[in-house]
Chains A and B, each alone.
Chain A
Amino acid sequence: MSNAANDDTAELVQRLMDGQRAALARAITHIESGASLAPRILGAIQSAVGNARVIGFTGAPGVGKSTLINAVIRELRKRNKSVAVAAVDPSSPISGGAILGDRVRMGEHGSDDGVFIRSISSRGHLGGLSATTAQVIDLMDAAGWDVVVIETVGAGQSEVEIAQIADISVVVCAPGLGDDVQAIKAGILEIADVLVVNKADQPLADQTCKQLVAMLELRHADRREVPVLTTVATSGDGVERLVKVIEQQYQENVEATRVRGPVQRFQYLIANAAGRQLQEQLATSSEKAMHDMCARVSRGELSVDSAARSLLEAMLR
């Protein structure tokens, strides 16, 4: 990289840490597009990372995440907290394009300088969506925002990973959606610090709450208790309580949640990225070693787990 580009990067980082929102916005673009100066930006901000509280909101499409975040921002602004939001929107698998619509529901804060909203499309990010999101959180944190809010559609592995990056994960569902509860069963429940049944103005909200509480009881007894709350995001009902509970969970949970410190955080991210790359490689591998393992597993000589372990050991030697 040229010296001029180095100087420009340093200046961008300086402006970002001075709190200039245009600099934060531009730095996010660099991270999002995997620009060659992205690693340098990230390196330069690490000393300023670690002060923001990070709250993740995850849930099936349409349960009211954006509307709820809008109401939560209102509550946080009453407490004089500045809030940066990263809204991760799925992109069209066909064109790769996307309509980024989450921030429309947060329009109430459209002119408030204490709020920064950025849509992130889930286009083919190098290193995975979770790594990109984690880095965007770092940028917002280093830029001095008190609270960083992440919105993701709770479906795949990357959402679980994003939830793990957050200090507090709020899983949002809506009443009466059987599928929704199913989706929650598939792993998302495990990462919830708080469960919210939104749209509590609709029928069946109580029933959905009871279902969720029953599902939580099936978890290990030594797990921390997960509060189940109801909200009406459109009216703001229950939102003050939600913010209080999030704060409580944070206090009880400071060490246990967001992977603090650059070393742990990056170890986690590198491990995730490595896992993804490895899986891609192995799934399409035509190596003899892989071939042999498949043959041995199919003859019943070896378990899938042991086959994977010996392949890994051979690779990392």
Chain B
Amino acid sequence: MSGSRMNRDLLRRLSAALGAETVAWVEGDGTPSSLRVEAPDREGFHVAAAILLEKLAPWRPVGLAKAEPGRCAVSTVAFDGILDFWPRDLVARIGAGARLGDLQALLAEQGLRVPVTSLRPGEHTLGGLFASGERGWRGGPNHRLRESVLGLTVIDGGGRVLKGGGRVMKNVAGWDLVHLHHGAGGALGVITDLTIKLEARPQAASAFALPVGVEEVATLLDSTRLPAAAAEPVVQLWLDETAAARAGFEGGGLLVVAAEGWREAVDHWASALPQGAVAVDPAELLRRACEGAFWSGRLHLGPSAVLDVWPSWSRKWKLVEPSLVLDLQTGHARVLLHREAPLRNAALIELAKAGRAVGGRLYAETEEVAIAGDAAPPDGPSSSEDPAWAIARRLKVAFDPGNLLPPLPRPVGGWR
């Protein structure tokens, strides 16, 4: 069957099963058009997955992402409500299509929140955030969506409806169907709803920016972290000179710290900060710093090594206008390039090399930046070389027997 006939056939089947208003053609720019389904409920996803499986049609679960050519996008955006709410347990079951921004606004009315951050909360769905393993801009081990999801429902590539976890705070019954889908990029099924641990909003929160150069950041870091400090900040980011300038702070690097809790404690913490600290909205400041970058990647190195490698490299490659946002608590370093230049790849390869020399890695979102002479990275789940990929491949076969879903992303730290 030709591609377009298959699409027409699929459109007919999906429209008949789910209602014409839930299925649409998405015209590509010069690429073949593809289908987008916005299922209204769990049953809708189940039906859609069954039809796609029967027709052997490739598909991708999405939140807001557009359809790709040749792959039907099954979107959760129409399934975005709070489905259950247990106020005394501070737990809610939420449609995967809920946008983080909308959800936070709704919860704020009850004095609650999901302890997760995003620079573009209006543009991220809960399902998308979980599936892409995003960690948000707020550090600390417990402020990642992974740590707040107690349970989920997923419809896998084989059309099975699977419920993982539950709604209790601790649960070690069996293998973890919830975390199987964390960071899986939709390659094992569509998450339809997530059961999430909520928390009460803190009584007070403040954030400050302080001018701190690269030479001082290490020392200052030590002193804000020392047990004698009034509080462990909930945010501790360092922006290099370029990132700071883009955020509107000229004249050198910038430390952004935030604390929250009881008003007295937060005020006390703020009063102990060094002179020159300016109150800021960290999300807004970071948005400005990251805006308009044409390339963004992550340097996996740890704060001290990043601070060793970064200054000389960024001075040398000024022409691509590099900037750095470093989370001092997690070591998560975001590298941004703001100006396209022919030597961009050479610059990145040099950074990747400098990183590797001290045991780190540079990733362009999902793939490591390759250096000449590297063995080819395992070509995704088809490679059996690396034990992580071998496990990934077996999971893929079990949960997507028709191989209709997108390829699995790289396992975290899974090949070296």
- Bind each other: no
Show the binding face of A for B, using Cβ within 8 Å: none
